[in-house]
Amino acid sequence: MKFSPALKFFLLLLCFAGFAAAAAAAAQDVKPVVLPVTTGKAPIIIIPGLTGSDLINSRTGEEVWFRARRAKDDDLRLPISANLARNRDDLVTKDIIRSVEFLKILPEVEIYERLIDSLEKRGGYREAKFDTATKNDAVDTFYVFPYDWRRDNVENARLLIRRIETLKRRIGKPALEFNVIAHSMGGLIARYAAMYGNQDIPAGIPKPNWAGARHFDKIFLLGTPNEGSVLSINGLLNGFSYVGGGLNLPFIQDISRFDLFTIPSIYQLLPHDGSFIAYGEDLKPLKIDIYDPATWEKYGWAVWQDDDFTKKMSAVEQRNARPFFNAALNRAKRFQAALAANGGSKVQVSFYLMGANCKETQNAVLLLRDEKKDRWKTIFKPDSFTRSNGEKVTGDEVKVLLVGMGDGVVTKRSLSGESWIPDLRKMILPISSELYQCENHNKLVTNPEIQDKLFVLLNAVPIS
């Protein structure tokens, strides 16, 4: 099984796969805009995205994620059943990923540490904790929100609201508003929290009540896949490997498609209903409903169609695979519908989009029928191919369809919601401003120009 370069970044949507020491050094050479440090600033919450929080075994204290080597007794796989809320294991989270060490002989790679360092040194903020904050921590502070990124995004959005409400009661500041810096999938959590507060997905046609908006002033969405990502399909089909080339080394922690299959949040990153683009051999769009389980079986995407299914999944997992999959797909579709609902015009929170529009980013897939083998081939890489009638199609012809512009992981189309009906776009996601730089997805939080814009907006008005 061959892993594309883009796929190697997918599971590290917001973290570390692309951080290189040379790039970090180059970024440090860019002198930031120096702004006067104000006091009385509204507190900040940092919300990481997929894979951006650690996972610890609650019984043994052993770190399971992130570590380059596999944990002895744990993996990232969740139990599966049709009851998604009940599918829990012993892993808990304690902190966001600040930096990682791949090998002892290499320097640590900073993840959110550089953002935190900038908040402290440039912005005059200091870190406070949700569980120990006092009334003195209501201004000039930042909080981090680690969460189990494998689980349902609605569950984590509701957890965020409960932590905020508990904090405000403890410090006696019921009217306190936070600014949010949310990276990648963390932006979806922030959006849901603002739109619905501590409420599960409403039955029927969702209608945002903006119950959580009273807790927020500004929400910054950095590389957030507001329309989902094609790379989530790639991950569910091919898994993730640090080494690449399909190698499964016993001491290196890779994440197989069988592991990803058990993680509900992956499904919630699928392209939204009506946003998924697939082309046939004639290079014309195909009408495909990726939220219909039958579609996955038709195109050979279902995990139980994999030759290794019975080897890699336990008897219980094999029995529960279909009910779980159906539930996860349905939950993802409802979650995305809730985010894409018309929120009306009277919204008390401001959203700011920050991303990139210069990097080649997976935007669609190609589906080719192999009649000899009686199966479909799902193509992510823009290579040349031969049609069933013998005609040649060049890689350039394919590339213009499969590849869009973005940050290498999230397209600009997804970040800005370009597939939404224009007149409804401002009702779905009321955007105050947009900023695009030429940057990789994993480095958006440390990009100097993006940080400059963040500090201008964060420091603009001290809270009363």
| Cα–Cα distance for residue pair 189/160, rounded to 1 Å | 8
The residue type found at 5 is: P
Q: What is the pLDDT of residues 76-113, one digit of tens each?
A: 899 999 999 999 999 999 999 887 654 444 444 567 88
More confident residue, 293 or 62: 293
pLDDT band at residue 348 under the 50/70/90 scheme: confident
β-strands 44-47, 375-379 pairing: unpaired
pTM for the full predicted model: 0.89
Q: Within its chain, how far is the Cα of 251 from the centroid?
A: 27
25: which 2 tokens?
């050094």
| Cα–Cα distance for residue pair 125/111, rounded to 1 Å | 18
Are the beta carbons of 153 and 185 closer than 8 angstroms? yes
Burial 103-130 (b: 16+ CB within 10 A, else e): eeeeeebbbbbbbbebbeebbbbeebeb
Closest CA to 112 of 45, 33, 203: 45
pLDDT band at residue 312 under the 50/70/90 scheme: very high
| Cα–Cα distance for residue pair 390/227, rounded to 1 Å | 36
- Work out the mean pLDDT of the chain and round it to a whole number: 87
Q: What is the pLDDT of residues 40-57, one digit of tens each?
A: 999 999 999 998 999 999
More confident residue, 305 or 113: 305
| Cα–Cα distance for residue pair 2/20, rounded to 1 Å | 23
Q: What are the DSSP E strand ranges found in 37-168? A: 44-47, 55-57, 63-65, 91-92, 99-100, 109-110, 126-127, 141-144
| Whole-number pLDDT of residue 73 | 55
pLDDT band at residue 244 under the 50/70/90 scheme: very low
| Whole-number pLDDT of residue 38 | 82
Beta bridge partners of 360: 405
What is the layout of strands, in order, in the sheet containing 278-279?
278-279, 365-370, 375-379
Contacts of 420 (CB under 8 A, 6+ apart): 227, 340, 428, 429
Residue 425 CB-half CA count within 13 A: 15
Q: What is the pLDDT of residues 210-235, one digit of tens each?
A: 999 999 999 999 999 999 999 999 99
| Cα–Cα distance for residue pair 286/408, rounded to 1 Å | 24
First and final C-alpha spacing in the chain: 58
Q: In percent, how much of the chain has pLDDT > 90? A: 73
